[in-house]
Structure 1
Amino acid sequence: MTNPATTADVATEDDLAVAYPTPLLRIDAVSKRFGAHAAVDGLSLDIRKGEFFALLGPSGCGKTTLLRMLAGFETPDSGRIELNGEDIAAVPPHQRPVNMMFQNYALFPHLSVRDNIGFGLKNAGLTRVGIDARVADMIALVKLTGLEQRKPHQLSGGQKQRVALARALARHPKLLLLDEPLAALDKKLREETQTELMRLQRQLGLTFVIVTHDQDEAMSMADRIGVMHGGRLQQVATPRQLYEAPASRWVAEFVGDINAIEGEIRVRDGHRLTIEGHGTGTLFATLPQQPPDALAVCVAIRPEKIRLSRRGLAAGLNHSGGMNSIEGVVDDVGYLGGRSVYKLKLDHGATLRVALANTARLDVDAYAIGERVTAWFTPDDCVVLAR
């Protein structure tokens, strides 16, 4: 079985460079400190024209500070921010071809939907006729027709979000910044709005930069994701590359769920590694493109990559031939609707999490607590990282 991260259908950095050849935004060695704290620390990044880019990271990682510097609400202590080749680090917010949609929407409570959307267009030099036409276009674009005269308190959360989005788009910015724009919405509405944002971004051909701590949100919407931690970029990649080929243990543990097994490399044989895992016994892994220098490594395995078989029914599993197979007992079961998560207590002492799709309506094939099973996975399912 081939690791999905290495197959031809994966959108690579080179593929995206062809699709989006021009860096619209160039962030060059930008730093911002607040007292002794480095919120953004020497960060460099190119964002291409027409792409949907996500800044993903935990609270306090610097992603919102970076977004505010792009908008002009904060000034870098050092470095350059270039838009279309022009350094805009010292340009005031209202003079930048950049708009920002805030997390709390920042709507004017005394203004109607129409006036909220049109606010600021006078400064753009439009006539009254031009403003009315632009606002009408935005109302149709975000599907608010019939709500033009309502005030914000008469709108649902999703409708407020669309008003804020229409206002941000009304001045036809070259770059739209979105600061946790979906955080206040419930799960179903959030998913619907994600789809709507992606539709609008493609329809308008604009460059979107979204800040979020929600991994699913970033993975489902973005062409590329920049993972931030401690004011620095840890990895920039497509969603699939980020998930299937994380650059470090920190990224692997932050993006999605993994089983992190520490161990030591015992044998390097061509493209195959034999690793003695702590609490798992011998593991076989495919040699990564950038092998770790040290013998001490961490083997990361996604729970959904692991399969289960009842003991004695694991026909075709051949550990000596390179297939990983480990025996243990089901210690816990979590039913999550579309999938079930099993916690296994392995014979060698480690704990393994396994996620299996619930393909049958009834639980006739489910594994029960206390049942003895064999967990198996291929060498390609193992991501070998520096410990």
Structure 2
Amino acid sequence: MTDHHATTDAALAASQAPLLRIEAVEKKFGGFKAVDGLSLDIKAGEFFALLGPSGCGKTTLLRMLAGFETPDRGRILLDGEDVASVLPHRRPVNMMFQNYALFPHLTVKANIAFGLKRAGLKRAEVKARIAEMLALVRLEGLAHRRPDQLSGGQQQRVALARALALRPKLLLLDEPLAALDKKLRESTQRELIELQRRLGTTFVIVTHDQDEAMTVADRIGVMSAGRLEQVAAPRQLYEAPASRWVAEFVGDVNILDGTVAEQDPHRLTVTTQDAATLSVAPPRQKVDINSAVSVAIRPEKIRLSRRGPVADAAAGLNRRDGVVSDLSYLGGLTSYTVKLDAGATLRATLANVARVEVDDFSRGQHVVAWFSPDDCVVLPR
């Protein structure tokens, strides 16, 4: 009986274990620490994004996962096996490069076949796998073309097919859509999501494009200076950033610095220099009276009107008078910059829900900007 329970517990633990576990990995180049003691778990079948500015260490981390770089310290466990010192071609991992790295003299078919032949698959197996991959990326009629006879989007699909042909446990994508134009990039993002869900393969994508990460990923790891600032699902990352740095990096945000004046279980009062006193929702982490904090408010959470909300609906709202100093019409949205009478500048984004030929507000117009305490995120300074 005990043996049965022990076996069941072991099987349950194995099923819950991450496919990829990165443990305190560090990588230096000379005196520069590119990856600094980073730890991360990624589940089987997950679409995970590493997001961050240039030089934050995300591509170095990806190259260590692929085997092109070796960690100075730490472990990289894939399915429980430490692969940190395993050669790239001996890992169940494949990588799709930013420039696609297709062989220019080989046809689409031959590009896909290259890795399969090197892996020693039989001719019939190679033929079947090529047909499967061409169908998967919808390039059946282009098998005999060379890369220079394909569009950028088609080349990207060939690179993807070649990377998936060996059925890796883990597919690494290094800025794979950077070379595509906006419309093609958006359609390819949708195709990538669909492909990943159909295959169930674990994808790890590196990108500096926040919209791309938010669109494709189940979870996002935001990197800065070789460390992970926050790992969360896209909605949580946007609505509940863990730090001011994350709030400013992911999407547009208004930041107002202040000091905690009062607090109760439901509300926090923050005194600011240039936006008067704000009523905000209490943060998850405890803050003390007189501690310095930043209040983050996303532009779409700020409403604008000529007179402000009606009295009955105004209880607890933060309302500030100001003047529209600038505006940008963006099709579905209009972005307004409002200079408050108290001194701060706020950005407000309003959806253009009606088909009209004039903006709701014009430059120089007096407006009331208002937002609720629950729209504010309090971050330590």
TM, length-normalised to structure 2: 0.94
Alignment partner, residue 240 of structure 1 = 235
Alignment partner, residue 201 of structure 1 = 196
**1:1-387 matches, cutoff 5 A:** 21-293=16-288, 295-311=291-307, 314-316=309-311, 321-364=315-358, 366-387=360-381
Q: 1:102 to 1:365 in 2, by over 3 A?
A: closer
The amino acid across from 1:378 in the alignment is S
1:216-268 deviation line (CA, Å, top 9, x unaligned): 00001000000000000000000000000000000000000100000111111
1:64-90 deviation line (CA, Å, top 9, x unaligned): 000000000000000000000000000
Alignment partner, residue 7 of structure 1 = none
- Partners of 1:317 and 1:325 within 8 A in 2: no
**Distance of 1:151 and 1:204 partners within structure 2:** 27
The amino acid across from 1:300 in the alignment is A
Range that drifts further, 136-145 or 284-293 = 284-293
The amino acid across from 1:45 in the alignment is L
**Distance of 2:246 and 2:38 partners within structure 1:** 17
The amino acid across from 1:211 in the alignment is V
Range that drifts further, 282-291 or 46-55 = 282-291
- Where do 5+ consecutive residues of structure 1 fail to align? 1-17
- Partners of 1:273 and 1:287 within 8 A in 2: yes
**Distance of 1:109 and 1:226 partners within structure 2:** 35
Range that drifts further, 224-233 or 124-133 = 124-133
**Distance of 1:49 and 1:382 partners within structure 2:** 35
DSSP 3-state at the match of 2:111: helix
Range that drifts further, 34-43 or 266-275 = 266-275
- Partners of 1:317 and 1:323 within 8 A in 2: no
Range that drifts further, 150-159 or 123-132 = 123-132
Runs of 4+ residues over 2 Å off in structure 1: 291-294, 316-319
Alignment partner, residue 10 of structure 2 = none
1:156-203 deviation line (CA, Å, top 9, x unaligned): 000000000000000000000000000000000000100010111000
**Distance of 1:53 and 1:251 partners within structure 2:** 17
**Distance of 2:287 and 2:297 partners within structure 1:** 17
DSSP 3-state at the match of 1:160: helix
Return the offset for 1:318: 6.4
| Identity score, percent | 69
The amino acid across from 2:256 in the alignment is I
1:119-166 deviation line (CA, Å, top 9, x unaligned): 111232310111000001000000001100000000000000000000
**Distance of 1:120 and 1:371 partners within structure 2:** 64
